[in-house]
């Protein structure tokens, strides 16, 4: 039944590969979306030069003889969202290579220089290779820089504890109370969260996303990390559990709790409601 497992996994994905993909025009779109920032000062310092810019520009009056100058209007954030949230990670890596080959610049560093705030944090997260992103998040967690209290957890031990709890409870008639007491009283809170994740993966992530937005303020690191890391794995399935558990859709809560380009990018990654 490998085909069934593959179908289920594909159904869980919200960010899929783009059909008829070509990284070159995507790289060019991103370049055009970001180029020109800071060019205005160059225009003013080169009075005799003649420049031609695309239509998305602002026209100003020159202090020299009243001639108009075209100064770029700024970064086209929506173009960046349209490209990077609609390509899977493998395709984003190809776009980055094309960007470097065509324009001689590192795409991730260029994005960092042009964007800011939570929107920058989300878009840059999309550009990491998955294993590098997980390593970075683990490194940040051990430094204590993540916005939710966390510490290192041995995944092997978490899996073993999950299996032991199942064997001590659901698998037998009655309950092996000593096994439950031993695990629940001697493991850290973070470890127990991982055990819960191991036993009910989609409910765990639904809960993490909900509490990242519930109440005053938003734990943006948690929100970004879970949406980015699960968008190419099982985010559709997590969305279904989210709706069952909390009576509202993940996208509706994102709309209530976030704003601007950050909100638009998150919604694009999450996709349509279940």
Tokens of 23: 């990284």
What is the sign, positive or negative, of the torsion defined by CA atoms of 114, 119, 124, 126?
negative
Q: Is 213 labelled as part of a ligand binding site?
A: yes
d(CA 87, CA 107) in angstroms, rounded, equals 15
d(CA 150, CA 190) in angstroms, rounded, equals 6
Give me the long-range contacts of 215-223 (CB less than 8 A, separation at least 24): 218/257, 218/258, 219/147, 219/148, 220/118, 220/121, 220/147, 221/121, 221/146, 221/147, 221/148, 222/146, 222/147, 222/148, 223/254, 223/258, 223/266
* DSSP calls for 137-173: HHHHHHHT-SSS------HHHHHHHHHHHHHHTTTSS
Q: Is 12 labelled as part of a ligand binding site?
A: no
| CB distance 209 to 226 below 8 Å | yes
d(CA 7, CA 17) in angstroms, rounded, equals 15
**Residue 58 forms beta bridges with which residues?**
71
Residue list, annotated binding site? 213, 215, 217, 257
Annotated binding site for Ca(2+): 213, 215, 217, 257
């Amino acid at each position: 039944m490998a085909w069934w497992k593959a179908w289920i996994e594909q159904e869980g994905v919200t960010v899929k590969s783009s059909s008829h993909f070509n990284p070159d025009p995507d790289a060019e779109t991103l370049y055009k979306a970001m180029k020109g920032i800071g060019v205005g000062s160059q225009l003013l310092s080169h009075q005799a030069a003649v420049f031609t810019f695309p239509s998305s520009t602002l026209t100003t009056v020159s202090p020299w003889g009243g001639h108009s100058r075209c100064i770029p209007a700024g970064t086209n954030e929506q173009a960046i969202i349209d490209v990077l949230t609609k390509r899977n990670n493998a395709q984003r890596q190809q776009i980055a290579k094309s960007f470097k080959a065509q324009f001689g610049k590192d795409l991730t560093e260029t994005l960092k220089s042009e964007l800011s705030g939570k929107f920058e944090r989300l878009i840059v997260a999309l550009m990491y290779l998955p294993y590098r992103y997980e390593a970075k998040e683990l490194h940040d967690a051990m430094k204590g820089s993540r916005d939710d209290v966390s510490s290192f957890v041995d995944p092997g031990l978490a899996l073993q504890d999950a299996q032991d709890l199942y064997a001590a409870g659901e698998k037998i008639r009655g309950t092996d109370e000593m096994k439950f007491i031993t695990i629940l009283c001697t493991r850290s809170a973070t470890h127990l969260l991982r055990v819960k994740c191991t036993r009910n993966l989609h409910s765990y992530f639904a809960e993490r996303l909900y509490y990242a937005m519930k109440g005053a303020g938003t734990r943006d690191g948690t929100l970004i990390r879970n949406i980015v890391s699960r968008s190419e794995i099982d985010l559709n399935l997590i969305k279904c559990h989210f709706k069952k558990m909390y009576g509202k859709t993940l996208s509706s809560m994102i709309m209530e709790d976030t704003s601007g380009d950050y909100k638009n990018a998150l919604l694009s990654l999450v996709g349509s409601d279940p």
